[in-house]
Structure 1
């Protein structure tokens, strides 16, 4: 049992180091330690299922050890910025004032195709439109547009605020009522019945019903087969 825990601890630390060496591009939305924990726990769970000859306690102990390590590591990173930087790294700027830092891209092994794909995901097709862009510690791209290209708001244009104070939320999805959203927007079931009657349908015939705290709503019926 002690040998198994020691091996788990060594593998855990080695995989974190390996993921840090692989670079930010490989991490997706997870921090290195989180990704390692996910991989190890899934593998250990599959081993315990596929190898019934292994005692249950012996197969579960490494899983709980990994969970404990992740909790301790999270607490350490929360209290110590240096530990957080060591485990997860720091955000790195790849664009400044519309100029791409090619040396940084090479260090991160982040190709121009990767960068352009991430920019397109934020509706940016020209890097010169970007004032500042960072590769975050989880591998995602954070972008700040140039001031002249930032989206304007109603306040900027001195337009009146919309009558709705709540966002458009689903009241019904695929015939299933979401009462918490309905009540949050100040609606009740009699209001829902009136909305259904206006569209000559029943609750089960609704594919999607969206609404806010006004009388405005959008209803899409299921297509009959």
Structure 2
């Protein structure tokens, strides 16, 4: 078999293996990763890359290695799910870096976590004054979680004693790219006649609608092909 044909076939097979592996492992591996997830993802990626173009290594050896890695990661995930100590061992513990407006330098030094990076992550949380922070915690996936002091937290409707209506569902997409989402209508006990009536009230045809969504509060947002904006700021 010509080498370029072999590389093409191996690349397709490699992509298929990655897809199967991702399906087995679930969404955890592609979300914000822990240290273990990071190591595991790099490893299976390297194996898949070698399968794609390294013709000096036998295919069945690479597939065996890949299967062992997938099985190991899956086993670790099960252990983490069932056993708190195992989860702590593989994922680690969150680390407090700010407590009551005070930076905990020792905790930061243990993680080799710099003040510059701390300030950057705080700014990403809209915090520019460390004194506003009650707790700041570096999670196991490296994300900084911030709890502000009560006097610096946003005011809610509950704080203001303002009544609010209950919401019992997520927004429902009714039309996307001009096509009616029939399955969404069916799942939410809505009909195409109802949708047509709503569009008629707005003097719209389905062909004019790019996107329509029914909000949790019962209001319907509709975006049409004609935006009626004289000077769009995103014009290319």
What TM bracket, shorter-length normalisation?
0.7 to 0.9
Aligned residues: 197
State whether structure 2 residue 186 is matched by structure 1 residue 208.
no
TM-score (norm 1): 0.73
CA distance in 2, matches of 1:129, 1:89: 27
Structure 1: state its 5+ residue gaps. 1-27
**Is the alpha carbon distance of 1:183 and 1:100 closer, same or farther for their aligned partners in structure 2, counting shifts above 3 Å?**
farther
2:111 to 104, 108, 111: 108
TM-score when normalising by structure 2: 0.71
RMSD across aligned positions (CA): 2.7
Supply the distance in 2 between the matched residues of 1:204 and 1:127 (Cα, whole angstroms): 52
Alpha-carbon separation, structure 1, partners of 2:188 and 2:114: 46
Q: Deviations over 1:172-208 (max 9, x none)?
A: 2322433454455553211221233334444343232
In the alignment, is residue 43 of structure 1 matched against residue 46 of structure 2? yes
Q: Which runs of 5+ in 2 are unaligned?
A: 1-30, 228-236
Question: What's the offset of the Cα at 1:104?
Answer: 2.4
**Structure 1 residues 67 and 125 mapped into 2: Cα distance closer, same or farther (>3 Å)?**
same
2:34 to 12, 16, 31: 31
Match of 1:93 in 2: 96
* Offset from partner CA, 1:92-141 (integer Å, 9 cap, x none): 00110111223322332222332233223333232221111110111111
1:45 is displaced (CA, Å) by 1.4
Partners in 2 of 1:83 and 1:215 — Cα distance? 45
